[in-house]
Amino acid sequence: MFLRNKNKKKIKFSKMHGLGNDFMVVELINQDFIFSPDIIKKLSHRNTGIGFDQLLLVEKSYNIEFDFHYRIFNSNGSEVEQCGNGARCIGLFLLLKGLTNKKKVIVSTKKNNIIINFLSNNLIQVNMGQPNFKIDQISTLNKKTCNDFSTKLLNKSLLCNLVSIGNPHCIIQVQSIKYAPVKKIARKIEKSLIFPKGINVSFMEIINKNHIKLRVHERDVGETQSCGSGACAAVAVGIAKNLLSNNVKVNLLGGSLTINWKGFQKPLYMTGSANHVFDGYIYI
């Protein structure tokens, strides 16, 4: 798949990461290609491909309200709605490639739109929109009240909180993330019939009202070094339950993010770094 011949197309890409959550980023404004699930799986392979958690595509927006359209594909080829770390990397990519000279860009995604603010060369703030606590929009559970976002899973033995940050998240509070049963529990929850489209599962340890630690199992991927939307979801749950303040530092395995949310009916902001690793091209 990766050797050059007359039947293959040359695709330029960038390898990037946000706190260890790594991406293959491709601009499809000045080049054209359709990435099938099979091609994405091969490209994402850590030994025989480029290797990445997600493939990010930047496309032209056909809506004048948005600067670009942004698509996210997991390493198994499935398209997902949101990726917070990816959003920061997309922002840096747009700057590095000269696709924008704005201090703020608005990009549409599969489900929502996000606003990316450039604070410095690699520090980027993303307006992630309003957290959605309506359980019936995340699961098959018949609960609709915005404040009633807790439920019991795994034979009603595990208390969880559900929220969507453009993509669905299940938040579990634990005493220590070091000993959290991530592998044992997360896959069972992710594949539960309660969640027809799957769900991301996060384990949150509250240090104090301004500081949490987090481990995240991303659907169709497994545990990752970091998850921006997972950090946003955990903090939103903590604030909604009056356990956290409006400004929280989140320590993930790959580094730290700052999440700010002033509560219901307000947008949530995520601030963190984005890193460019290298540029390359491949024949597909």
Listed in sequence order, the residues at least 6 apart from 251 whose beta carbon sits closer than 8 Å to its beta carbon are: 211, 212, 213, 214
User: Tens digit of pLDDT for each residue in 112-161?
Assistant: 899 999 997 679 999 999 999 988 888 888 765 555 577 888 877 888 99
Is 251 annotated in a binding site? The answer is: no
Residue 254 annotated as binding site: no
124 shares a domain with 159: no
**79 marked as binding residue:** no
User: Stretch 228-240: mean pLDDT, rounded?
Assistant: 97
Amino acid 228: pLDDT: 96
What is the per-residue pLDDT across 156-183, written as a single tens digit (0 to 9) for each? 788 899 999 999 999 999 999 999 999 8
Q: Average the pLDDT over 54-76 and give the result.
A: 95
| 74 is annotated as contributing to ligand binding | yes
In a domain, 52, yes or no: yes
pLDDT at 5: 63
Coil, strand or helix at 49: coil
One domain, residues 124 and 141: no
- pLDDT tens per residue across span 81-113: 889 999 999 999 999 999 999 999 999 998 789
Q: What is the pTM of this model?
A: 0.91
Q: How far apart are the first and last CA of the chain?
A: 6
What the block records as the tokens of 161 is: 């909180």
Domain span at 76: 10-128+273-283
- Same domain, yes or no: 214 and 122: no
Q: Is 59 annotated as a binding residue?
A: no
Assess if residue 1 is contained within a domain.
Answer: no
Instruction: Give domain status of residue 5, yes or no.
Output: no
Which two tokens mark 164? 């969507």
Question: 259 and 232 in contact (C-beta within 8 Å)?
Answer: yes
Average pLDDT of 225-252?
A: 97
Other beta carbons less than 10 A from residue 4's beta carbon? 10
DSSP secondary-structure letter at 132? B
The answer to whether the beta carbons of residues 68 and 26 sit under 8 Å apart is no
258 and 165 housed in the same domain: yes
From the list 212, 258, 257, 215, the residue with the least C-alpha distance to 238 is 212
Residue at 91 is within a domain: yes
Looking at residues 52-62, what average pLDDT do you find? 95
- Mean pLDDT, residues 67-72 taken together: 96
Q: Let me know whether 150 and 64 are in one domain.
A: no
Q: Is there a single domain that holds both residue 231 and residue 148?
A: yes
User: Is 218 annotated as belonging to a binding site?
Assistant: yes
Q: Is the dihedral of CA 63, 67, 68, 70 positive or negative?
A: negative
**How many domains does the structure of the chain reveal?**
2
Hey, how many other C-beta atoms are within 10 angstroms of the C-beta on 6?
4
Q: Tell me which residues are annotated as active site.
A: 83, 227
Please indicate, yes or no, if residue 54 is contained in any of the structural domains.
yes
Q: Within 10 A of 271 (CB to CB), how many other CB atoms are there?
A: 17
Average predicted confidence (pLDDT) for the chain: 92
Query: Is 260 annotated among the ligand-binding residues?
Result: no
> Is residue 171 a part of any domain in this protein?
yes
Report the amino acid identity of residue 199.
I
Here the contacts of 42-51 (C-beta below 8 Å, separation 24 or greater) are: 42/1, 43/282, 43/284, 44/75, 44/76, 49/2, 50/13, 50/15, 50/24, 50/280, 50/282, 51/22
Does residue 2 form part of some domain? Answer: no
pLDDT value at position 121? 65
Residue 137 assigned ligand-binding role = no
9-46 pLDDT, tens digit per residue, is 999 999 999 999 999 999 999 999 999 999 999 999 99
Task: Residue 85: give its domain's CATH number.
Answer: 3.10.310.10
Query: Is 3 domain-assigned?
Result: no
Task: Based on the fold, state whether residues 92 and 196 are members of the same structural domain.
Answer: no
Q: Please name which of 229, 254, 258 lies closest in space to residue 246, comparing C-alpha atoms.
A: 258
